[in-house]
Amino acid sequence: MEFDIFFSISQTPDTTGFTPSEDEMFSNFFDQVELADDLGFGVGWVAQAHLSTEIQKRNRDPVVPHYPGEVGLCTDFFQVAREMLSRTTRMEVGSAVMSILASGGPIAQAERVGSFIALHGIEPAEKRKLHIGFSAGRFEFMARPYGIVPRDQVEEAAWPALRGQIFAEASEIFLRLLNGEVVSSETISPTTLSRVNFRSEEDWSRVQEAAVSERGLAESPESIEFENRYDFEEIKTIPQEWRRSLLNLVLGSHDKQLQVDVNKIRPVQVFNLSITPPHVIEETHERMAESYHPDGGAWVRSMMPRTVMVFVNDEDGLTQEEQDEAALEEARAALSTYWSALEGTIDPSKIEKATDNAVIGSVESVVGQISERFHPEDRIMCWFDFFNHDSERVKRNMAAFMTKVAPRINGGP
């Protein structure tokens, strides 16, 4: 089993109510990065966010109206990745995940990837890959200033489904530019929505009615075509001759068709979460085994990293039972803080469900939970800093996991 690590750099009050300064956040982050490299984690994945979560609460329709502080401080993954690589020798670096709808859109993001790897790969001996996890972005307010908003009544009515198709359009542009292709909006697949794109007949009917009214149609259409979100003549990004072998792409989307479609362009792996039901995990592996782009080789389970919150307690002076109890209290406190921040309420059922999906307890207990829940060829993205700003404790947990849990999972002492 392979073990990566996830860094959230989330500047929000932890379970004690403490919020570090920005300087403290970054200092703690880089301390943990250096330790992660020493401990042997494979990829250090960094959450990316944009714009102030606090300020968006003033918006007419705030996305997360109760979230205190900032959901994340990594607003420019490439600068953070450069610093991470300069401080480490073995660990690779990844974005988890980078929005290609924000920060200038897919063209700007493709150009940044190429530029970064052109510089990163100058030294022929450099073998560490840049892992680009990309998505539409979890919070809509981060993409709105870049024009990702409904343009008329039809788009307003269709927005939940249309936003996903805008991401599909952006993904095609992004990936084809990374291939080194010459691209124009005329060569990008058109966006057409029909009943299959909507959750209910009522949702689709509202879009049909808006189309009849807005476009002067005589009857309700069976499908509706939308103008390209990105309109441009032929372009090609530069630099052009960077080492594409140093790039690994990972899609942050559960859209089954999109997972297939992006792999018609180039190899693109898939992210998954610890809360994803087991049958969805297995269905994704089956689908990717058939659709993964042949240039990426045969699909293997480690190509789908799975995010797992880790609440391990290996503190001195406690019995195993006491460590289990303390870890469970820590997990419940962190998850209560999370749900209160995200929704403004604490839902006990959601907290219990989340604890069922995290790994919690003493070294012995965490070994048992991982062995029971995960396939031995899975790749786990361990999340230690979940609503925890006690960096020294986070580092002790990281060390306990990699020196005591990981070896036993893989058959060692």
**pTM of the model as a whole:** 0.95
Question: Using CA atoms, how far apart are residues 95 and 196, in angstroms rounded to an integer?
Answer: 32
Give the span between the Cα atoms of 134 and 175, in whole angstroms: 11
Residue-level pLDDT at 39: 98
| Domain 2-140+239-409 grouped into CATH 3.20.20.30 | yes
Which long-range contacts link 405-413 to residues 24+ away (Cβ below 8 Å)?
A: 405/312, 405/363, 405/366, 405/367, 405/370, 406/1, 406/3, 408/363, 408/367, 409/1, 409/367, 409/370, 409/371, 410/1
DSSP 8-state secondary structure symbol assigned to residue 11: B
* pLDDT given at position 355: 63
| Residue 351 confidence (pLDDT) | 58
pLDDT tens, per residue, the chain with 413 residues: 999 999 999 999 999 999 999 999 999 999 999 999 999 999 999 999 999 999 999 999 898 898 999 999 999 999 999 999 999 999 999 999 999 999 999 999 999 999 999 999 999 999 999 999 999 998 999 999 999 999 999 999 999 999 999 999 999 999 999 999 999 999 999 999 999 999 999 999 999 999 999 999 999 999 999 999 999 999 999 999 999 999 999 999 999 999 999 999 999 999 987 678 889 999 999 999 999 999 999 999 999 999 999 999 999 999 999 999 999 999 999 988 888 887 766 566 665 666 677 999 999 999 999 999 999 999 999 999 999 999 999 999 999 999 999 999 999 87
